[in-house]
Amino acid sequence: MKIGVFSDADIPSLWAHSFSVMKTAQGLAALGHQTRVVTANSLRAARNRWRFRDLGAHYGIRQRLDITWLPPSLGAWFRGNTQNDPLFAQRAAELAGQEGLGLVYARSYLTPVLTARAGIPTVVETHTTNYDNPHLAAIHAVAGLPAFRGLITIHADIAAEHARRGVPAEKILVLEDGVDLERFLVADDPQPWRRQLGLDPDRHYAVYAGHLYADKGIEVILEAARLLAGRQDLGFLLVGGFPEDLRRWRQWCRQRGVGNVAFTGFMPNAALPGYLKAATCLLLPYQPERAHTVMDIHTTSPLKLFEYMAARRPIVATAVPTVAKVLKAGHSGLLVPPGDLEAFAQAIERAIDDAALAQLLAHNAWREVQPFSWTQRCRRILDLALGGLV
């Protein structure tokens, strides 16, 4: 079957949204479907295509995907503000009809409204809690059409609100985000990975991978590093981050004399398994008291959590509900009360010093992440969209 994966946001980019789109496209292709990614072109997208020339490495995808960049309106092309651009949506819907697509999977709002009205089987995925977005309201208005096959989201609370606003409950599917499990079927011994990455093979490393925004809990990690500065056998490694965030946190460390933290800056997703395998433990902090501008901390489904679980390393995480519903305290991760910096540092030491506990946590997390593969996720989406005719 021909499937179009539609997004009106930047591809390539460093946003988690675009990684989810590309991983979904790979999952659909892995199920044997002819899959094309259709996204909006812009001056920024063109620059990003030059910057991230190897999309396979950038997104950590293992096969070549067909990608079409369609022009939006002229103003949106120059500004890079292509989300909900009507001209892009029109062109995308026309392409869906011309290509005879059997299914449209959309991470946007305007395109699926047009394709559903045109009778093309359509599913929408949305993680937003901005329910008053007028473009999202348009999705609610077409949800009763036969061609509108389903709405995918990541949390039961989001699903309930969409149902209240008119999406038939039988058309809503709640799925956590996914992970490309095959990428983590590599050598498990951390020492060769440390040597390859220029790290001390005999030292322990507490590793965080992801953006370095303040609302990602980075200060929790750095305060833990300060509390554990006396341990000469332990280093902290933060993988990722925009240049401005790197400058901020490096200055934070210099001002406070914290010398046991290293920053790598952005790394292609293809390199991520090696960094996670080099770790002794993996860190997933949150600061619920902060205003979260990038995500809704109560309903997010963090991609990195599932990658951490697939890496088979013990995870130290803040016990916020979105994490606690996946990780079981003391069974598949060490969960720390929000705001307790000393407890976070102590949990890191437990993960390092108690080898039997670390092995148990890592094994249980690996076992429990198996149902969250992107391929399995895509199979469930197709079951909803096609009534089991996958």
Q: Indicate whether 349 and 378 sit together in one domain.
A: no
Q: Indicate whether 357 and 292 sit together in one domain.
A: yes
Q: Indicate whether 381 and 316 sit together in one domain.
A: no
Per the confidence metrics, is the pTM higher than 0.95? Answer: no
Tokens of 117: 């009205």
Q: Per-residue pLDDT averaged across 41-70, rounded?
A: 93
Q: Please, which pLDDT band fits residue 290 given cuts at 50, 70 and 90?
A: low
Judge whether residue 37 has pLDDT over 80.
yes
Close Cβ partners of 98 (under 8 Å, ≥ 6 residues apart): none
**Gap between the Cα atoms of 170 and 300, Å rounded:** 22
In the chain the beta strands, taken as DSSP E runs, fall at 2-7, 34-40, 66-70, 103-107, 122-125, 148-153, 172-174, 204-209, 234-239, 261-265, 281-284, 315-318, 334-336
For CA atoms 308, 314, 318, 321, give the dihedral sign.
positive
Q: Indicate whether 226 and 174 sit together in one domain.
A: no
* Residue 287 or 369, more confident: 369
Greatest pairwise CA separation for the chain in angstroms: 65
Name the domain count of the chain: 2
User: What local confidence, expressed as pLDDT, does residue 8 receive?
Assistant: 95
User: What local confidence, expressed as pLDDT, does residue 298 receive?
Assistant: 65
Judge whether residue 336 has pLDDT over 80.
yes
Q: Per-residue pLDDT averaged across 350-371, rounded?
A: 97
Any bridge partners for residue 5, and if so which? 37, 105
Q: Indicate whether 381 and 366 sit together in one domain.
A: no
Q: How many C-beta neighbours within 10 Å does residue 298 have?
A: 14
Q: Indicate whether 222 and 143 sit together in one domain.
A: no
**CATH, residue 224:** 3.40.50.2000
Q: Per-residue pLDDT averaged across 365-390, rounded?
A: 89
Q: Per-residue pLDDT averaged across 258-277, rounded?
A: 97
Encode pLDDT of 191-241 as tens digits.
999 999 999 999 999 999 999 998 889 999 999 999 999 999 999 999 999
Q: Indicate whether 253 and 344 sit together in one domain.
A: yes
**Gap between the Cα atoms of 123 and 32, Å rounded:** 19
Encode pLDDT of 133-180 as tens digits.
889 999 999 999 999 999 999 999 999 999 999 999 999 999 999 999
User: What local confidence, expressed as pLDDT, does residue 332 receive?
Assistant: 97
* Residue type present at position 254: R
The percent of residues above 70 in pLDDT, for the chain, comes to 97
Q: Per-residue pLDDT averaged across 1-20, rounded?
A: 94
Q: Indicate whether 233 and 114 sit together in one domain.
A: no
Q: Indicate whether 150 and 169 sit together in one domain.
A: yes
**Gap between the Cα atoms of 320 and 283, Å rounded:** 14
- Expressed as residue numbers, the domain containing 221 is 182-371
Q: Indicate whether 242 and 158 sit together in one domain.
A: no
Close Cβ partners of 26 (under 8 Å, ≥ 6 residues apart): 61, 62, 63, 65, 180, 374
Mode of pairing for the β-strands spanning 315-318 and 281-284: parallel
User: What local confidence, expressed as pLDDT, does residue 215 receive?
Assistant: 83
Q: Indicate whether 258 and 211 sit together in one domain.
A: yes
**Gap between the Cα atoms of 273 and 42, Å rounded:** 31
Please give the mean pLDDT across all residues of the chain: 94
Judge whether residue 376 has pLDDT over 80.
yes
User: What local confidence, expressed as pLDDT, does residue 64 receive?
Assistant: 84
User: What local confidence, expressed as pLDDT, does residue 150 receive?
Assistant: 97
Residue 100 region, left (φ>0) first, then alpha (ψ -120 to 50), else beta?
left
User: What local confidence, expressed as pLDDT, does residue 389 receive?
Assistant: 46
For CA atoms 14, 125, 320, 181, give the dihedral sign.
negative
Q: Indicate whether 28 and 57 sit together in one domain.
A: yes
